[in-house]
Amino acid sequence: MTEKEDKLNITVKSNNKDLYSFMKLVPTRKKRIEKASNEPITSDPINHLARRLHPERQYMIISEIKEETKTTKTFKLIPDPDSETKELAYFRAGQYLSLKVVVNDVLITRPYSIASSPTDALNGFYEITIRKESHGFLTGYIWENWKVRTKVESSGPEGFFYYEPIRDANTIVAIGGGSGVTPFRSMAKAIINGNLDAKLVLLYGSSDQHDIIYYDEFKELESQHPDKIKVVFVLSCEEVTLQGCEKGFISSEIINKYADVKDNTFFICGPQVMYDFIDKELQKLNIQNKRIRKEAYGEIKDIVKYPGFPQDKADKTFKIKVKIGNISKEIPAIATESVLVALERANLAPPSKCRSGECGFCRSLLISGNVYVSPKCDGRRAADKKFNFFHPCSSYPISNLEIDIPRDI
């Protein structure tokens, strides 16, 4: 810096006082430290509330099992009295729990929507409803092993599939397919309990009437609160005997019949075929982007059908060199299964929650090789893409890979 001709000469109080104040800075600070309390700080209310809202783990036991249909059961979960879990985290209707289960000596996770109301969580329980899949790795295990008092471990409530009053219209048009109806049971109950200030029109698709979950409950909610809850059952089977339901799939005609397409918010949860169908139907109705909320897509089971998947790789098995913590291991991986599944099969206990590319909990580094990521499930940050970070749950190996994954916390 060059000296200025007319250099500023500041005086705040007086020349002497100003210099004296400067000289006193360090002694003042020393004195203040010396005079301060020597008591440790033991409370941190903000972190305390953060952990109550977002516990890393919840340890529960099954207190009741209810058979809803031939293939679905509702499990009531309460805090495990032998664990550190003393209360269940409050949540927003529509959120899910990521269950952590050891199946045949392999640790896996699965997301399940909470089907009970947020108020129920305050009263000490969650309910989740699970449909037994014909070749389900986990559900077969659950049907055989889960009894009253079985211990169940989960994440805190997760996900963004909830009503947001500042963003959403006052009427929720819920489009649910099969066991995808579970978050809407929670929303319906939240509305009745006064946790959620909205109206609900539920368009609920099932293959036939015996597959409808919560039929009686929904009927009762509707009759008791006709101003707030409307439920339309849509059955796709050939012969329909149930009174007052719609036949076929949830088409644009049916949506248009029950919804105000200009002024409602659409919440969609169901199997992947339903998402693909509904996408087209909603397009016909010209609904704004902001009015359509979809639950996470789920792990893609038929990845070969997705545009851009290299068909010549479909039947290949690749090797993945995995670095986790300070060890390396080489594991096999099938092109049509996500990298996450390969990691779980190898019992590396990788972190995961949504299994849909959305939550980022499994985020890992791709050191070399190529993966296919479906555009439907690409929740990576722009910089993640730039620096080769990927989500194993929504990435499929199409070459040998070398990856670095974090340990679960």
Partner 1 sequence: MRTITILYHEKKKISVLFMEIEESYDVIVIGAGNGGLAATARLVLSGVKVLLIEQHNLPGGFASSFVRGRFEFETSLHELEGYGPADNPGSIRRFFEKRLNIDAEFLEVPEAYRVITKDIDAKLPFGREAFINEVEKQVPGSRESVTNFFALADDINAAFRYIGKSQGRPDQKELLKNHSNFLKTAAYSVEEVENALNIPKKAQDIINAYWAYLGIPMNRMNFTLYAAMTSSYIDRGAYIPKLRSTEFTLALDKRIRELGGVILYNTRVEKILVENGKVIGVETSNGDKIKTNQVISNASQTLVYNKLIYPKSEVPEIAYKEVNSRIHGLSAFVVYLGLDKSAEELGIKDYSYFIMGDMDTETLYNQWNSLGVPKGQATVCLNIANPDSSPPDTSIVYITTLFKPGAWKDVKPEDYVRVKNDIAKGLIIDFEKALGISVMDHIEEFEVATPQTFARYSRTYNGIIYGYEPESWDSLVPRLMMMNDHYYIEGLEFAGGFGRRAHGYSSAINDGELAALFVLSKLQVKIGVGVNK
Q: Which is nearer to partner 1, 38 or 223 (CB)?
A: 38
Q: Which is nearer to partner 1, 76 or 131 (CB)?
A: 76
Q: Contacts with partner 1: how many residues (CB under 8 A)?
A: 90
Contact stretch for partner 1 (CB under 8 A) within 7-15, 173-181, 264-272, 302-310: 7-15
| Cα dihedral across residues 327, 332, 337, 341: positive or negative | negative
Among positions 354-383, residues that touch partner 1 (CB under 8 A) are 358, 360-361, 363, 379-383
Structure tokens at 259: 């919804």
Contact stretch for partner 1 (CB under 8 A) within 32-40, 64-72, 137-145, 244-252: 32-40
* Contact by Cβ (8 Å): 52, 87: yes
Q: Which is nearer to partner 1, 310 or 360 (CB)?
A: 360
> Distance (Å, rounded) from C-alpha 271 to C-alpha 225?
29
Among positions 314-353, residues that touch partner 1 (CB under 8 A) are 324-327, 329, 347-349, 351
Q: Which is nearer to partner 1, 14 or 241 (CB)?
A: 14
> Distance (Å, rounded) from C-alpha 128 to C-alpha 96?
9
CA distances 33 to 23, 24, 27, 30, 43, Å, are 17, 14, 10, 5, 21
Contact map string, positions 91 to 110, toward partner 1, x by CB under 8 A:
-x-------x-x--xxx---
Among positions 225-264, residues that touch partner 1 (CB under 8 A) are none
The neighbouring-strand residues paired with 373 are 395
**Among all chains, which residue has been given the structure tokens 């919440």?**
267
* Contact by Cβ (8 Å): 186, 116: yes
10 binds partner 1 (CB under 8 A): yes
Least distance (Å) from partner 1 to the CB of residue 113? Answer: 18
Q: Which is nearer to partner 1, 69 or 117 (CB)?
A: 117
> Distance (Å, rounded) from C-alpha 101 to C-alpha 151?
10
Buried b (16+ CB within 10 A) or exposed e, 91-121: bbbbbbbbbbbebeeeebbbbbbbbbbbebb
In this structure, what DSSP letter does residue 377 have?
A: G
Among positions 41-70, residues that touch partner 1 (CB under 8 A) are 41-42, 44-47, 49-54, 59
Among 247, 334, 389, 399, binds partner 1 (CB under 8 A): 389
Among positions 113-172, residues that touch partner 1 (CB under 8 A) are 118, 122, 151, 153, 160, 164-167
> Distance (Å, rounded) from C-alpha 350 to C-alpha 130?
23
Among 81, 289, 311, 312, binds partner 1 (CB under 8 A): 289
194 binds partner 1 (CB under 8 A): no
28 binds partner 1 (CB under 8 A): yes
Least distance (Å) from partner 1 to the CB of residue 409? Answer: 4
| Cα dihedral across residues 286, 198, 112, 136: positive or negative | negative
